[in-house]
Homo-oligomer: A and B are copies of this chain.
């Protein structure tokens, strides 16, 4: 079988994996059924001693009310060394997040260790990601063309929004390597869940275990909510809620 055709925007050897490992059958659906579950997942990760949660105050969603789940397709960006005054005139474009879209399989979430103060993803890129079937993106750094990505229904969680392009300022140096997002280490294939409260980054090897425990906790919380709705006095709530 021949390898997928590439864009050539980044050297082949800097693509550590051509395809993000597929999550086991039903895993993503399982997480999705939990709904806006960043809180529950964070609790389970606490109990298992796993780090991997980022505040929604830091990674802010472009489309409030959305919740996405999927495996991480990772991208690492760095600043270019050349002066932007020159690269902008000579159109020296070293960004390669389109290669990431090219490699994306349906349901993937593009997770970018980006450059702060600069856009690491624009509207056409978002539209392309949508077409490829991605669930959305997580960007540590700036993004732009928010109206565009909202318009096509491609949600992004980012630390900043800014019109300033990364095209002449950024170089994509690695795809599907290990990256760092807001102090959290992320590997390709780690499971990402993002909602209005924040972003959970679950190590692939622990995802099934996390889902199992989260499912149980979700049931317990629903039960608790029913008891509260039923009017039980707080001192009589199980565990006092």
Contact = CB atoms under 8 A, between A and B. Distances in A.
Interface string A27-40: 00000000110110
Question: Range of interface residues on chain A?
Answer: 35 or more
A175 to B, nearest CB: 13
A140 interface: no
A185 B87 CA distance: 15
A188 interface: no
Nearest to A179: B78
A237 B184 contact: no
Contacts of A131: 228-229, 231
A36 to B, nearest CB: 4
Instruction: Indicate how many identical chains form the complex.
Output: 6
Contacts of A81: 51, 185, 187, 203
Contacts of A219: none
B229 A56 contact: no
Interface string A183-200: 111010000000111101
Contact of A147 (B86, B128, B187, B196): B196
Contact of A164 (B42, B67, B231, B233): B42
Interface of A: 5-9, 35-36, 38-39, 41-43, 46-47, 49-51, 53, 55-57, 65, 67, 78-81, 83-86, 88-89, 93, 98-99, 101-102, 116-117, 119, 122-125, 127-128, 131-132, 142, 144-148, 159-165, 167-168, 173, 178, 180, 183-185, 187, 195-198, 200, 203, 221, 224-225, 228-229, 231, 233-235, 237, 239-241
5 closest cross-chain pairs (CB), A and B: A55-B162, A85-B85, A42-B163, A38-B163, A36-B147
Given A81-B187, A164-B198, 16 more contacts: A8-B240, A35-B147, A36-B146, A43-B165, A46-B164, A46-B165, A47-B89, A49-B85, A50-B83, A55-B160, A78-B185, A79-B183, A124-B224, A128-B234, A161-B196, A163-B197
